[in-house]
Structure 1
Amino acid sequence: MAIELLNPAQLDDMRPAGRFVADVLTTLVETADVGFDLLELDALAHRMIKDRGAESCYIDYAPSFGRGPFGYVLCTSVNDAVLHGLPHRYKLRDGDLVSFDFAVSVDGWVCDSAVTVPVGTPRDEDLRLIEATEVALARAIEVARPGQKVGDIGAVIGETAREYGYSVNTQFGGHGVGRTMHGDPHIPNDAKAGRGFPLKPGLVIAIEPWLLASTDEIRMDDDGWTIRSADGSRGAHSEHTIAITEGDPIVMTARG
């Protein structure tokens, strides 16, 4: 697959998609509470897509690793689920940990982002797990500059995970973003610095560290989509779409 480098005008054209993704995730975080059903939250995101005139990247998505098409507009991963959580009839409970992953196309441009939040009374161990993914993401964004390589991003994510005492699964990671949701290059969550595709101005990528509390082994749920920890421990996932520029990276999906 060819890797497209966007010019400054195209990056500006992509910004509305990033703002919309950020707005939807902010709304979901503010709405998710004890008693809310995952299908209600997916329906909320669906209404926002319709009102905006955007297009979901998930609903018809049918990759080789899933039992597609996905059929919903939002990934909702709860507790020991960490990626690709298929919305289903489940009311959030006090103490749950939920990740929302959301990607849409606005005017032909795609942005992708994810956030993990506690529901009701937070657990200290969950907050630490979330913090590890958020710190890893922030550090990875900081090194995402011309002259670096995708391996430098993976190296800082892996180093941060181990600093917090977590191991890293490398089966799923970040990816190129542009006209489609998933493109090249692959952005690993652990790698050797100085290796891989070089970062160049105009490259747009999704960086998405995800971690499990006590394992790096995963299993697929019976729904053919939801990925869970092999040992039942909880997971957290943080993701932003960013653009490499001559200067500081642009966080397209920045919230707040």
Structure 2
Amino acid sequence: MSIPIRTPEEIEQMRRAGRIVAECHRRIASMIRPGVTTMEIERMVDGYIRSQDAIPYTVGYNGYKYATCASVNDVIAHGFPSDAPLADGDLATIDIVAQADGWIADSAWTYAVGTLPESSRKLMQVTKECLDIGISLAQPGNRIGDVMHALQKHAEQNGFSVVRDLLGHGVGRELHEEPNFSHAGKPGKGFRLKEGMVLTIEPMINEGKLEMFIETDGWTCKTMDGKRSAQFEHTIAIVEGGPIILTEQ
């Protein structure tokens, strides 16, 4: 496994794509409410990215048609934007990838639509805490297994499960670069983080069991038991003194 190492100058160049993705999420946060459709969000994101002389990278990626993945309730990831209005109490995860100046940034966020049931509110909170744990431990010299074990332990102690079949990954000139890794880890195992690595931390946490399936469209990943899922994702650069969050909102 050959993991790309980016120079400080290259990491700096990646910031523009990160800022564009972050601004998309800020705009989604201000517009999401019952009655809005994920297709409206899709059009906003596509238009904003293009207005910044950047590329909505997932349009045409392996045949995917949209600038966003829009995953509602029991959809874990890769859901298609829809004209169906979001309902009060829904969970909606919007995943966005932008390419600017040849560099890519990737960030997903789960949004509360209206007033959530308490179980969904807790799921969102714990998933965000899992992201924060992963980022806080993403220090040079740490093993990925230790980082992900801490994240996994937090989810499971709160009664949730960690999706294993969808992975974190390196980001750079391509969307999916080495390394690829699960968000469930074994202490003392896996590669060591090194300064200059750029990767996503993107835990997908399920309210019920971890098993998932893919719909016949070849993209939409759903929980096997029909319970809800949440995800929070940032693109980060590993540097001495703590990671740089390139997609910070």
Q: Are 1:70 and 1:86, in contact at CA under 8 Å, matched by a contact in 2?
A: no
Q: Are 1:86 and 1:223, in contact at CA under 8 Å, matched by a contact in 2?
A: no
Matched, 1:50 2:50: yes
Partner of 1:158 in structure 2? 152
Figure out how many residues of one structure are paired with residues of the other and give that number: 249
Query: 1:194 is paired with a residue of what secondary structure?
Result: coil
Matched, 1:229 2:223: yes
Matched, 1:186 2:180: yes
> What is the rounded CA distance, in whole Å, between the counterparts of 2:163 and 2:75 in structure 1?
14
Matched, 1:35 2:67: no
Q: Are 1:153 and 1:187, in contact at CA under 8 Å, matched by a contact in 2?
A: no
Q: After the TM superposition, which residues 64-213 of structure 1 pair with which residues of structure 2 at under 5 Å, given as runs?
A: 69-213=63-207
Q: Are 2:21 and 2:97, in contact at CA under 8 Å, matched by a contact in 1?
A: yes
> What is the rounded CA distance, in whole Å, between the counterparts of 1:225 and 1:158 in structure 2?
25
Deviation at 1:7, TM superposition (A): 0.9
> What is the rounded CA distance, in whole Å, between the counterparts of 1:79 and 1:40 in structure 2?
18
> What is the rounded CA distance, in whole Å, between the counterparts of 1:249 and 1:214 in structure 2?
31
- Residues 87-109 of structure 1, C-alpha deviation per residue, up to 9 Å, x if partnerless? 12211111111001111111111
Which amino acid is the alignment partner of residue 7 of structure 1?
T
Query: 1:175 is paired with a residue of what secondary structure?
Result: strand
> What is the rounded CA distance, in whole Å, between the counterparts of 1:156 and 1:60 in structure 2?
36
Matched, 1:14 2:8: no
Query: 2:111 is paired with a residue of what secondary structure?
Result: strand
Q: What root-mean-square deviation, in Å, do the aligned CA atoms of Structure 1 and Structure 2 show? A: 1.2
Partner of 1:241 in structure 2? 235
> What is the rounded CA distance, in whole Å, between the counterparts of 2:178 and 2:168 in structure 1?
9
> What is the rounded CA distance, in whole Å, between the counterparts of 2:26 and 2:138 in structure 1?
24
Query: 2:26 is paired with a residue of what secondary structure?
Result: helix
- Residues 122-142 of structure 1, C-alpha deviation per residue, up to 9 Å, x if partnerless? 221111101111111111111
Partner of 1:66 in structure 2? none
Query: 1:48 is paired with a residue of what secondary structure?
Result: helix
> What is the rounded CA distance, in whole Å, between the counterparts of 1:103 and 1:149 in structure 2?
27
Mind listing any 5+ residue stretches in structure 1 that lack a counterpart?
Answer: 63-68
Q: Are 1:187 and 1:207, in contact at CA under 8 Å, matched by a contact in 2?
A: no
Partner of 1:60 in structure 2? 60
Q: TM-score, normalised by structure 1?
A: 0.94
Q: Are 2:200 and 2:234, in contact at CA under 8 Å, matched by a contact in 1?
A: yes
- Residues 36-78 of structure 1, C-alpha deviation per residue, up to 9 Å, x if partnerless? 122111011010011011112211111xxxxxx1100001001
Deviation at 1:112, TM superposition (A): 0.5
Counting aligned pairs with the same residue, the percent is: 37
> What is the rounded CA distance, in whole Å, between the counterparts of 1:29 and 1:187 in structure 2?
29
Answer with 119-128 or 197-206: which moved more: 119-128
Which amino acid is the alignment partner of residue 58 of structure 1?
T
